Amino acid sequence: DRYVKPYLEQEDMIFISEKIIAISQGRAFDIDEIKVSPLANFLCKFVYKSPYGIGLAARGRWNLPSVISAFPRFCSPLFALLSQSRLASAGCFKNCRGCGRAIDGPCDYTLPPYNHYAKLAPKDPDKVAAMLREYTGCKAVVVMDANDIGREILGVSSPEVDIELCKEIFKDNPLGQASQQTPIAIVRKVS
């Protein structure tokens, strides 16, 4: 209402960070309150460790899927790759239907107190996007997980949204990945 609606034009699109949606849905957990299971401790050894951040290898983040009873679906690539012994190089946990990629760990540049929280992917991102589109009256809403490594579209307000175009628009991660703290962007076609 304050930072987006007054500036919207009819054909604008809203791009919103998945992190802010997850926080607003109560899907953020203080890392000191997450009980890490022995299985999570074992499995995190096989997760690709990105040089850009702590990634899914952080034990506090890795146990979150079991907290929400999504553990079997989340870990199914593990069982498919066990026989091939390619766990670490395959990055299998990074590609679990967007669920793994969208889990964010604590980081210094997130606004307090969420700089000490792990965040799950947002629940029903397509539904959230459709609701925000209806509320704002904009052309489309895109729920985005963008960082300096890549871009994932987690939700769109309607099937007509061109996902590849959205990824291209966010190729340089205009919301920023550090101190910018910009969870929402208005995207406007210019003539």
Peptide bond into 113 cis (omega under 30): yes
List of residues 6+ apart from 188 with CB closer than 8 A? 9, 11, 12, 13
Q: SS3 breakdown of the chain: % helix, strand, coil, rounded to 5? A: 40, 15, 45
List of residues 6+ apart from 73 with CB closer than 8 A? 96, 97, 99
In this prediction, residue 141 carries a pLDDT of 97
DSSP H or E segment with residue 97? none
Report the candidate in 108, 119, 103 with the shortest Cα–Cα distance to residue 179: 108
Report the candidate in 52, 63, 80, 71 with the shortest Cα–Cα distance to residue 29: 63
List of residues 6+ apart from 18 with CB closer than 8 A? 102, 121, 122, 125, 143, 144, 145, 154, 155
In this prediction, residue 173 carries a pLDDT of 76
In this prediction, residue 83 carries a pLDDT of 43
Question: Which regions in the chain score pLDDT beneath 50?
Answer: 57, 59, 62-74, 81-98
In this prediction, residue 104 carries a pLDDT of 73
This prediction has a pTM of: 0.73
Report the candidate in 13, 17, 16, 15 with the shortest Cα–Cα distance to residue 188: 13
In this prediction, residue 150 carries a pLDDT of 75
Stated length of the chain:
191
In this prediction, residue 111 carries a pLDDT of 75
